[in-house]
Amino acid sequence: MRESQNVLQVSSLHVKVKTADGTLPLVHNIDLELKPGRVLGLVGESGSGKSVTCLSILRLLDRKTTSVEGSIRLHGRELNGLGNEEMRRIRGKEIAFIMQNPMNAFSPVFTIGDQFVETIRTHTALTKKQAFELAVTSMQDVNLPDSSELMRRHPFQLSGGMLQRVMIAFAMCMRPSVLIADEPTTALDVTNQLQVLRQLNRIRSEYGTSILLISHDLGVIAEMADDVAVMQHGRIVEKADVYELFDHPQHVYTKELLDARPKLQINQQINQPTKEFVLS
């Protein structure tokens, strides 16, 4: 597929950090493409460079201590090298971000409504009343009950699952072209994980949003992703369609990741062969 047909095109991305002992490479030669309405899963163990990759796309890394080389193009527009003010106009409106820990996304001293309304008015010309109404509607869209009342609460008054859905409402309010979700279900129980995944899938199907889903949970990737990229030591070692990758992994590291999934062994009868069920 030609670059012009990709919503987001990352080419030859290199990220380095300055240390007391010199420059340390974090990610090397990353190439990623996000297609309209599709989910790209980025998997790998902790420390493989997944979060650094997404933060570099969002231009959220400290520019004093890190350098980002390569091309990051959104609808053909180069983002690498844009100033802080230009990126602020893009973040939240054209590229949305869901953090791993929802509590870190909110200020504890302001209500949910204050922060939601400010976010909307930063990117639109809506009045405060109009922004409030849009925020309430967005929260209702992610099945949050009593949204008007939730707007008056502080973040610490909401559960982790509710905060994660508030963050999704924040992210989708402006109907962005790209949604980057960094471990969006890690801190949630199974019930809330399912709710969040359903919301992400609805966003993709209803609005045609392209999603970069970062996770070490292969079950989440198998459920959500259309395509998968596997990271190891800051590099992409394998990319494939999700079915192809799970059924026919090529790289030894991908095979190790898949083999590491927990298996439930059930002996139906004594002296009968053991059956293994992969939990994914």
AA identity, residue 154 = H
Quote the tokens at residue 133.
């109404």
- Strand 77-78 relative to strand 95-98: parallel, antiparallel, unpaired? unpaired
Instruction: Identify the pLDDT of residue 32.
Output: 95
Which tens digits make up the pLDDT trace of 126-158? 999 999 999 999 999 888 889 999 999 999 999
Instruction: Identify the pLDDT of residue 243.
Output: 95
AA identity, residue 163 = L
Which tens digits make up the pLDDT trace of 62-75? 989 999 999 999 99
Flag residues of the chain having pLDDT under 70: 1-4, 262-280
Quote the tokens at residue 159.
């559960």
The domains found in the chain, sorted by start residue, are 3-94+174-278 (3.40.50.300)
